[in-house]
Amino acid sequence: MADKNATGARVDENASAAREEAVAAVLIHAADLFAERGPAATSIRDIGTRSGVNHGLVFRYLGTKDQLVKAVLNHLADEVSAAAQAGASAEVIAAKAELQWRVLARAILDGFPVGQLQERFPIAANLVKHVRHSYDEELTGRLAAANVIALQLGWQLFEPFLRSAAGIEDLSPAELRQSLNGEIARMLKASPKDVYRIAFPVS
């Protein structure tokens, strides 16, 4: 009986590990596909093919498209937060944050209720935590934090149009980042050199 119990426990552990591995692969590849084409244009079968996970298992483990989008949004938010907490390089964190913004923007354009689907907002929480001490009125501070996020999303969505409309096609990416950083610092009532630390603090 003891041997049977031990064998059953090992089988359960192996099955659990296999499921975790499959879910991790699905989340990674679903995020990439959502960033490339948006969740509406990405089928469960597409995700299964890209991740190497049977599409039936994708549905079994993560559910409907809305549930999958929810899982991806929370996964990306956690990835950014974990990278910052682990002391990853600015380049690594920036790449993870950019992927998160792109997926978020695509999901919004596709009509997914991201405000309801996403449960964790670490970057927004960090911004709000800062502005609560920078503004006399809490609502004004929260609006400032929201405006920072809107600025980032706006450029993520409309950079080609904005460059053309404003006649700044020749502005280098570095110059654009510097300008955005200065504007974000102004809204946060902070120094430009502190913007990164505010958005991605390390405990």
How do residues 50-87 score in pLDDT, each as one tens digit? 999 998 999 999 999 999 999 999 999 999 989 988 88
If one compares 10 and 185, the residue with the highest pLDDT of the two is: 185
Residue 95: how many other CB atoms lie within 10 Å: 14
pLDDT score, position 87: 86
- Token pair, residue 71, equals 């899982």
Percentage of the chain with pLDDT > 90?
67
Over the stretch 125-167, which tens digit does the pLDDT of each residue have? 999 999 998 999 999 999 999 999 999 889 888 999 999 999 9
Over the stretch 88-106, which tens digit does the pLDDT of each residue have? 888 898 899 889 989 998 9
Percentage of the chain with pLDDT > 70?
92
pLDDT at 199 > cutoff 70: yes
Q: What is the pTM of this model?
A: 0.79
pLDDT score, position 203: 54
Alpha-carbon dihedral sign for residues 26, 31, 37, 42:
positive
Q: How confident is the model at residue 182 (pLDDT cuts 50, 70, 90)?
A: very high
Q: Are 117 and 73 in contact (CB under 8 A)?
A: yes
Question: Domain limits of the chain?
Answer: 2-88, 122-199
pLDDT score, position 112: 95
* CA separation, residue 141 to residues 13, 77, 122, 148 (Å): 48, 22, 16, 11
Residue 108's nearest CA partner among 163, 154, 43 is: 154
pLDDT score, position 130: 92
pLDDT score, position 3: 58
pLDDT score, position 5: 55
Q: Of 14-18, 132-136, 153-157, 168-172, give the lowest mean pLDDT range.
A: 14-18
**CATH assignment of 2-88?**
1.10.357.10
